[in-house]
Amino acid sequence: MAGIITVVQSLGLGKLAGARLPIVTGATFVAMSPMILITKDYGLQAMYGSMLLGGVIGIALAWPFASIVRFFPPLVSGSVLTVVGISLIGVAGGLIVGSDPKAATFAAPSRIALAAGVLAIAVLFTVLGRGVWSQLGILIALIVGVAVAAPMGLVKLDGVSKAAWFGAPHPFHFGAPQFPITAVVAMAIVMAVVFAESTASMLAIGEIAGKPLSRGDLARGLVGDGLSAVLGGLLNSFVDTIFNQNVGAVASTRVYSRYVTAVSGAILVLLGLVPRFGALVAAVPQPVIGGVGLMLFATISVIGIDTLRKVDLSDRLNLTLIAVSIGVGLVPVLTKGMFDKFPSSAQILLNSGISLAAATAFTLNLIFNHTGIGDMARGTTKPAPAEPDPETPETVPAT
């Protein structure tokens, strides 16, 4: 599914869908918790049914949502991207140390050393390499990392021999879809959150690739998100959206061609249809992925910081809006379980630092930069006129 949507987003589907940017998509974490909760309360048929209908609602709202792109200036997009990068650094760290704290290999020095070596290779090729060698730095680091990890026993190939050579999804495998209103509303909220994240990512990729986004480009990109939910509900998959890591990859490799990502999408389709190939890719050790991911994810934060340079930070109001947006966005990332006692519908937004940052930055920017409140606030936040230096005589106009 991710491969299909990647091709659509890269090449476009006529004038209907696709941002026509170098985009790679994948399952969004935003939808995971709601999907689990819906499955517990209503079952898989309701989960996939609500996903399908939520995607239809998303497609219907894509063009109206795209009209607010003018309210996503560098202040908003830069704040969101900064939070995205910082949030994902923890993911890279988790891949490096492992997921089971009770395991003997958890945070083993060998895992950390492997990740550090992979990171060093990626940095050396990216910084010192010329031409294609610089662009291939991350891939070379992955290959070397796997080669080093193999004798360490970190490359597990058991799943490869057990995987089938061919497999295709069956529509509505778990039965006819069901549409409980509560579940549908939850998935509609998920689509709104996904749209907010995708908007920031598309604006960043467009800027990096030198292709400013029009309202139509953004709307067609959001339609692609909605289409992923529809196909996910039909083919028992997930809601796919733009991988935030994609922003870092485009910036690090400086490969701006959407045809390259389209080929990547075709490869993803192949991996899905030939599970044995997919299992081979899945055998790449987590510390290797984490080492490369550390650079990619941090790059996203750097892009966010660079975007914020376009904001007038001498204006204390802008500085405050950015600080609050980033701070609020990092709360659920750094304080796990903070919103666990809130209703599940509210947790969809509150447990996503990226969504919180986007909602906070968008709202504050709308209030203080597009209403009279901002003018009034700036009237009180402007620095007072400098007092004249008593040692400097006042200039007397000539008479």
pLDDT score for 398 = 43
Is 128 inside any structural domain? yes
Number of domains in the chain: 1
Is 394 inside any structural domain? no
Is 204 inside any structural domain? yes
The answer to whether 115 touches 286, Cβ cutoff 8 Å, is no
Residue closest to 353 by CA, chosen among 156, 134, 87, 114: 87
Question: What mean pLDDT is predicted for residues 89-106?
Answer: 87
The answer to whether 57 touches 191, Cβ cutoff 8 Å, is yes
pTM recorded for the entire structure: 0.74
pLDDT digits (tens, 9 = 90+) for 258-270: 999 999 999 888 8
Is 306 inside any structural domain? yes
Is 73 inside any structural domain? yes
Is 11 inside any structural domain? yes
Is 393 inside any structural domain? no
* pLDDT higher at 280 or 66: 66
Name the DSSP class of 13: B
Is 399 inside any structural domain? no
* pLDDT higher at 336 or 311: 311
Q: How far is CA 69 from CA 213, 309, 336, in A?
A: 9, 19, 31
Q: Rounded to an integer, what distance in angstroms lies between the CA atom of residue 362 and that of residue 379?
A: 22
The yes-or-no verdict on residue 322 having pLDDT over 90 is: yes
Binned at pLDDT 50, 70 and 90, residue 219 comes out as very high
Compute the mean pLDDT over every residue in the chain, rounded to the nearest whole number: 85
The domain of 343 spans: 2-380
